[in-house]
Every structure is written in structure tokens, then in C-alpha cells.
Structure 1
């Protein structure tokens, strides 16, 4: 009975809202049904492709409704930049996800935090820690960790995905908490972050939890049939609380004992040993954001890198030739070499473009009524930017489904082949504040792997060859399809160098 009443009231509210907004000049979109709007027409997988197809009929600014909630889908570079960048002040909020934002509390993490003072302070702390001035310190950490990655790849190349995740964890947790990750599978902070990431990804899957469509369901008793989502919410909230508290408290205890390594978190604590309750939350959410937001996303980019190298041997050879010309056989690449490696830098840009981690940018929410090209954008509407559509628009990126690092070399037309970083890491006042760190990690891995290994023979898990027309697996965080590949040292001398010269770093 409680569920029935909640559903009825939600539908009634949705219908009233739908009747009100339908009288205004909304952007075009598929015709919906009374009460439920376009709920039954919403794509269930590879939404970015489906939205791109719909945009061919309805235009690059499209309106849909789900149970009375307006959704605006932006599918062109012009529309995305006009609204989310040029009008960023009113498109800076995040929609409320009943399950994630309210029941679990992900609104306490920077990525979903509502727009306001708390968000601004958190982003300020992160951008002050990850910027051009701090880049040399970040690069030193990454360059030390990469020396430990190479022996792992040499010893067990089939586990390359696990090794890449170890590298990400090692760099980020060293920077944020002064924490040295020895083994990814047994490290308590990494295990806890993995649990939170899995729960967070589940919450972002559209339609997974009925309470997101019918928010009144959050008030039904936990014992009521169909209320299993409440147990999930409780578990996820406990995991989130632990991730916010335990790493921070660990650094605080180390400072007290005099054993702390300098890090983002140690500086926060030392600069303000007795923060207010609000300051403490901002400190915890900022330090947590680095790894919670970057672990799975950067891992996806590095998996795409390995898949590209295996599928495009000619790209691999050109990149290796550029590295060999610069480095010879005397040293490994450094982050400071990037300006002298334009082709490798172009490869990194293609990694971000080819299979974007967020093909649909994390949704924005418009904070006041707006007009765009004669159309009404209602206050509170969820605004979805189809980044994948822009990154695969042939008028912007010719031959968009091909990996071509040279597309960024000697650009003659300003609007053709722009840097994909401006579309792959979010927009306006919600762009990813850690994008410099993520981009640098992809570069140092790409350059170092190319200098030391060959990556070949991409195959599906069933052993079949993978074609270049790769269909990514979708999900809230996009990954390449599951695959294996062969990772071998470029020569016996390289293998000897890794085994003898670098093994002491492992």
C-alpha cells in the first residue's frame, strides 16, 4: 500500500508538472505519454549513440521528460559551449539523485556536491594542489612509480590491467595521503576505495533504483517487500563514511607521531589543526575526491591506450621512433619531455577522444529559467552533454572512428581537431579539477611503455581477434570491451635493464 500511494503521488506530481511545462516553448523532442513522459523511450545502454541518433531528427538541443522531470540533451559543440561554458554560472549545479545524493550522501563528494560555498572551497583546494606550479612535484612521484610498474609488467604481463590500477593508486595516494601502495589487492585503502567506486557506479546507472523515479519510496520501512534498496543505501553510506574518515584520520595520527610523509592531506591538517565541522568535511571530501574520482576513470584511459597500441601497430611504431630519436638507449622518458614528443602527445589526445571515459558528461542542473535559440530551458532541468557525439563528429574530427595522432600536428584550421581534453573532462564550473593529474599519468605511462615494450595481439576474452570498430561496454564510466593482449619487452637489452636496473625500485 505504501508503495502504491508513493507511486500514485509521484505520477500525479509528474503529470501536473508535465502539463505546466508543455505550455512553454520547450526544445523539440520525442512525444511522450501523459504522466510518464518519455520514460519508456529512454535508452538503456550506449545512451550516447542513441541520443546522437535522436538528435538527427530533433536537433542538437533536445527535450525529454521522465515522470515530469525535464531533461535537456546537448549534442553539438556549439550548444554545449554556449550553455555549459558561456552560461556556466547558471548551469553549475548537479541534479539530486535520491538514492545517491540523499540516501547515501554522495553529495558530500566534490563531483556530486551541489553548487555553493562547499563546492567552491573543495575545488579551490584541489586546483591549488594540482596545477602548473605543483606539476614538477607530481611528475617526480609519477616517474618514481613508473619505475616500479615496469618490473611488474615484465614479470606478469597478462596482469597488465591490475598493474595499471596499482600505478594509479600508487601515484594518487602518495600525493594525497603520503601512502605507499605495496600491493593493490591487500592494501586496505585501495580495497575500501574499490568498494565505494563500485557502489558509486551502480548508483549512476539510470533506472537501477526505483526510488530515483519515485523519491517518496525512501520513506517506506526497511522491512517492507521491495525495500532492499535501503539495505544497499545503508551499506554504501557506511563505506563512504569510512572512506571520508579513515584515510584522513590515518594521516592525522601520523602527524601526531611525527611519521607523516608530506602530502595534500598532511598540509591541510598542519595548516589548520583545529578545523570547524564544515572545514573538516571540505578537507575530507577534497582529499577523497582524488582517488575516488580518478581510480576507475584513469584506469579506463590506460586500458584504451593498450588497446590502441595493439590494434594500431603503425601508430605504435611511429610513436616508438619519435621516442628513440629523442632518448636513444640512454634513459627513460620524463614528463618534461612532452613538448618534444608531439606524436606521443597526439596519441594521448586520441586516448581521451576515441573511447571517452564519460561519453555523457556527468549531468548539470540549470539553476534558473533560461532561453536558448528561442527555446525555454526550465529551471531545475537536468542537462546532459553528449561529449561522445562531439568527439566523433566528422566535421570536427575527420575520420572520427580512426585513431590518428597526426591529426593534432600542424593544424591549419582552428576549429578542426581541437584538443579533446576540453570535451573529455567536463564543462564550465564542473570540469574535472584533477584533469592535469589524469592527463599527465596517461602521458608518462604511454611514453614509458612505448619506450620499453611492444603491445600486440588484441583479443577478446574468448580468444577472437578484435576489430578496429570497437564497441565500448558502456556503463556510468565507459571502458573498452574486455580484452587481452601480448606485452613483451622491445629487446633482450630492455628486458635485462628492467630486471637488473629497475627491480630495486619494486
Structure 2
């Protein structure tokens, strides 16, 4: 009798386990049957449950994705745990899907880490496609897409560029800090009417720290919580919850970055001392219309915040890349300098109106964006509706990753891509030049393209032209007087910063130093 009861208890206790196994097998079968009816693009073989995650290295993932492209074609299908992913390794495929079919390819993956845990849920980069996205996009396009509006920012761009030159004359060893100040000075005045007056400005410092800590906390889609959202509920005392502690720390920085300058503009508006700015304009319009709700305030904070956080980091990266390239290729620098000397002459500094007369400089800057694409994998899009491309199924909910790095490194488009070579563009036809211009891919695609690309490109052009016109640039020296030759290397991260390097800046003459001082003084007074 006891034996019978023991057997019954054994059967009873085993039933839940058997049921669980049956459910798992059934779920796997259903998923198999569901996927079997689709014909996905070719890609690397995936393992059950983990998909292709085990094949991706921790660093420089764009290189592995490019390998997949060379093996399987420019449209690659992979799975990262349960999430299907479509990797685009050519400009043609990216344009066809994310621009020509943008109605289906403009959404964003959930980004649980960035949005829900870190608090970046009110910035355009992370908004799902919908009414709120269109609202932010409209504001930013009105502020940056119109040529007339962008031309209105030129006095600020000039003043901050001359301040950059002054800083390079006075303390060239701090050139990295001068670049951050330059980019922050331009953007903070446009976004908030705030003038940066020192290298250790508090708003610049907190925004930079926020950006750095966000990257340390995890790139978009890179953390397990993005693939298994239930992990967001893990208690802080449990092992493995360190990502949440870091995320909550970042969230406090994000609130400072968004709230502090916004409150500053609000106070200035109340006292009648507010300078013209993106934030002030939106606040005044909302007050006049009676629509300034808490939600509307958060939208203004997010729209203004993305101008600063997204705009400065990538712009500084482009300028660091420019300086690194010029240090390593001083023949290119001297050739660009000769062009500017010939066109501009010794009595003034380059200005926006000179751009069309400086074709070699244009080639240099194209090559800067190509040599080191600032955001190698862009920000992933998401597919909102099932699609078919080249006879292959693109499933709803798939993450779409444009491999911008490979689009700018493909040897079939750019022979010897590792070499910095502005001359590659010199003798192209107009059609070839347009097709190979890396600026057509590095700013993103479709309805998610960077709305400030014209403004950012103009800022980089003006700063680069004026550095070339006024500075001799070369290797720094060690204690024995030997050249310190920097490495042409870039960090692995969401934004591809050049690795830290040193170099030497010197004003070309005392006359040029005087011209810089004069232009700085005049533009401080008039802008």
C-alpha cells in the first residue's frame, strides 16, 4: 500500500514538470511552424534560444556584421535571442527599405534600458514612430532644416569658432577641451540661449558626464533587459542587478541634463531676460496657446535635450577625427592650407560664402566622415509591418541595423578604404560624387535622418576651414624631442571617438594671432 502511494505521489509530483516540458516543446514547434512559412534573407546559422548572439564580439560588432555581409549578401538575417534582426550592409538596401519604404521602417525597438530605466524616453532618437515623434520632428525640422533659419545661426557659429581658435592659440595642449567647449557653446545658445564662457562650464560638464555614463551603461539594444523585458523588475539586492543601479544613476544625470537648462529658461522668461532660443520659443508659443501641460513641458525638454546630447557628441567626434587625420597626413593638411591661402588671402578668415571656392577642403571633409563614421551602426529601426524585399520576408517587429561603418569602408565603393585619401573624390563625375558622398549615410536614413545635418555639417566646415587657415598642425614631442605619432584607432562604442592622442598647434604667425583676436572681439560684441 505504501509503495502504491509512493508511486502515485511520484507521478503526481512529476506532472507539473512534464506539463512544463510539453508546453516548451509545443511553443518551440509553434515557433518553428510559424517561421517555416517565411523565407528570411540569408544569414549565419542560429542556435536555439540564443540565436546568433554568441557570434557577436563584445567590441567592434560592425566588423562581424560586415563579415556576414561578405558571406551572405548585403541584406543579412540574424536573431539576437528572440528578436529577429535584419542587417543592411549597403547604401542601396538601406535607402530602399528605410527611405523608400519608410512608412514600415521608421519605428524603434523597445530600448528598455535606455528609455524605461535610464530615462531617455522623451528624446526623438528613442521615440516610437507616432504622433509624439512627429511633434518633436516638426519642431526640430523648423529649427534646423530651413536654410533661412540655419543662416540665422551663423553669427553664433562664427563667434564660437573664433573662440576655439583663441583657445588653440592660448593653450593648445587642451585642444580636446576647446573642441567640447566650441560644440557646447554653439548648441547651448541655440537650444537655451545660454552662453558658455569657460572650459569647465557646469552645463557642458554634466551633459558630457551624462553621455559618457549612458554609453558605459550599455548601447541601444545591447543589454539583456532589451531582449527579456521582465528583467527590469529584478530587485536591486539580487545578483546581476548591477545594470539597474547604473541605469538609475544615469537617470539622475539625465534629469539634470534635461531639467536644469529648461528651468533656467523658464526663470528668464518670467523676469523678461530670456535670450532667443529653441526652448524659449516653444514655451512662449505654448503659453500663448494655453497648451503648456506637464506632458508638453516634458516634450520641450526632450526636444531641446536631444539637440545638445546628440548634436555635440557626434560633432566633436567629427572634429577629433579631422584633427587626427590632419596630424597623420600633413601633406593633405598643407594642400588644403595652400588652397585656402590662394582663395582667401592673408587679410581675413574663411567664411561660409567661401565654401564653393574650396573644393579640396570639401574632399577632405568627405573623407573625414568616411574614414571614421561617427555612429558606426546608426540607431536601429524597427519594422512596424511585415514586408517582402527581393523575395525575402522581413518580419514585423524585426530590428533593422544599418551597418554604416561598412557602407563607408566597402572596397568596391572606396578602393583601399583604410587609407585616408581625399583625392579619391577629385576627379569624380557629379553623379559619382553624389553616390559616394559619405554624408548621405552617416546622418541616418528616412524619417529618422538627423534633422540637424545641414547645421552640423556647416559647423564642422567652418571650424575646419579656420583651423587650416590659422594653425600649423604637427606631432607633439616627447621629453627627448622625438615625434609622438598617434595611432589611427577608434574606440568601440555607440559613437566612434578617436582614441586619445596628442598633437601640436601653433598660430602660423603673430599677424594671424592678431587677426584671430580681432575677429573674436568683434563677434563677441556683435552676436
TM-score of the pair, normalised by structure 1: 0.91
Change (3 A) 1:13 1:235: farther
Is residue 90 from structure 1 mapped to residue 108 from structure 2 by the alignment?
no
SS in 1 for 2:506: strand
Name the counterpart of 1:402.
Answer: 419
Which one of the candidate residues 66, 80, 102 is aligned to 1:52? Answer: 66
Name the counterpart of 1:116.
Answer: 130
Counting matched residue pairs gives 494
Which one of the candidate residues 475, 478, 491 is aligned to 2:509? Answer: 491
Name the counterpart of 1:4.
Answer: none
CA distance in 2, matches of 1:304, 1:210: 32
Name the counterpart of 2:378.
Answer: 361
Q: Is the 8 A contact 2:490 2:496 kept in 1?
A: yes
Name the counterpart of 1:321.
Answer: 338
CA distance in 2, matches of 1:314, 1:382: 43
* Superposition pairs of residues 145-224 of structure 1, within 5 angstroms: 145-185=160-200, 187-205=201-219, 209-224=223-238
SS in 1 for 2:474: strand
Which one of the candidate residues 295, 301, 310 is aligned to 1:284? Answer: 301
Name the counterpart of 2:80.
Answer: 66
Which one of the candidate residues 300, 319, 341 is aligned to 2:358? Answer: 341
Bigger Rg over Cα: 2
SS in 1 for 2:78: strand
Question: After the TM superposition, which parts of structure 1 deviate over 6 Å for at least 4 consecutive aligned residues?
Answer: 11-14, 503-506
The Cα offsets for residues 200-249 of structure 1, whole Å up to 9 and x where unpaired, read as 32344378644234321211222223222222222222222232222112
Which one of the candidate residues 134, 141, 148 is aligned to 1:133? Answer: 148
Is residue 310 from structure 1 mapped to residue 327 from structure 2 by the alignment?
yes
Q: Is the 8 A contact 1:14 1:36 kept in 2?
A: no
Which one of the candidate residues 460, 482, 485 is aligned to 1:465? Answer: 485
Is residue 296 from structure 1 mapped to residue 310 from structure 2 by the alignment?
no
The Cα offsets for residues 33-72 of structure 1, whole Å up to 9 and x where unpaired, read as 1111112112321112221112111111111112111011
Per the TM alignment, residue 154 of structure 1 is displaced from its structure 2 partner at its CA by 0.9
Name the counterpart of 1:478.
Answer: 496
Per mean C-alpha deviation after superposition, the further-off stretch among 11-20 and 387-396 is 11-20
CA distance in 1, matches of 2:476, 2:439: 26
Name the counterpart of 2:464.
Answer: 446
CA distance in 1, matches of 2:221, 2:147: 40
Change (3 A) 1:216 1:334: same
Change (3 A) 1:115 1:203: farther
Q: Is the 8 A contact 2:366 2:438 kept in 1?
A: yes
Q: Is the 8 A contact 2:179 2:319 kept in 1?
A: yes
Change (3 A) 1:91 1:17: farther
The Cα offsets for residues 458-479 of structure 1, whole Å up to 9 and x where unpaired, read as 799x975246xx3322211111
Name the counterpart of 2:14.
Answer: none
Per the TM alignment, residue 18 of structure 1 is displaced from its structure 2 partner at its CA by 5.4
Name the counterpart of 1:261.
Answer: 275
Q: Is the 8 A contact 1:363 1:383 kept in 2?
A: yes
Per mean C-alpha deviation after superposition, the further-off stretch among 424-433 and 395-404 is 395-404
Q: Is the 8 A contact 2:319 2:460 kept in 1?
A: yes
Per the TM alignment, residue 373 of structure 1 is displaced from its structure 2 partner at its CA by 0.8
CA distance in 2, matches of 1:121, 1:402: 42
Is residue 247 from structure 1 mapped to residue 261 from structure 2 by the alignment?
yes
SS in 2 for 1:394: coil
SS in 2 for 1:70: strand
Q: Is the 8 A contact 2:111 2:126 kept in 1?
A: no
Change (3 A) 1:295 1:49: same
RMSD: 2.6
The Cα offsets for residues 237-268 of structure 1, whole Å up to 9 and x where unpaired, read as 22222322221121111011111111111111
Per mean C-alpha deviation after superposition, the further-off stretch among 205-214 and 317-326 is 205-214
Is residue 412 from structure 1 mapped to residue 429 from structure 2 by the alignment?
yes
Per the TM alignment, residue 500 of structure 1 is displaced from its structure 2 partner at its CA by 6.7
TM-score of the pair, normalised by structure 2: 0.88
Per mean C-alpha deviation after superposition, the further-off stretch among 127-136 and 157-166 is 127-136
CA distance in 1, matches of 2:65, 2:53: 14
Name the counterpart of 1:330.
Answer: 347
SS in 2 for 1:106: coil
Name the counterpart of 1:431.
Answer: 449
Note the residue ranges of structure 1 that are not aligned, 5 or more in a row: 1-7
CA distance in 2, matches of 1:472, 1:194: 19
* Superposition pairs of residues 368-387 of structure 1, within 5 angstroms: 368-387=385-404
Q: Is the 8 A contact 1:366 1:381 kept in 2?
A: yes
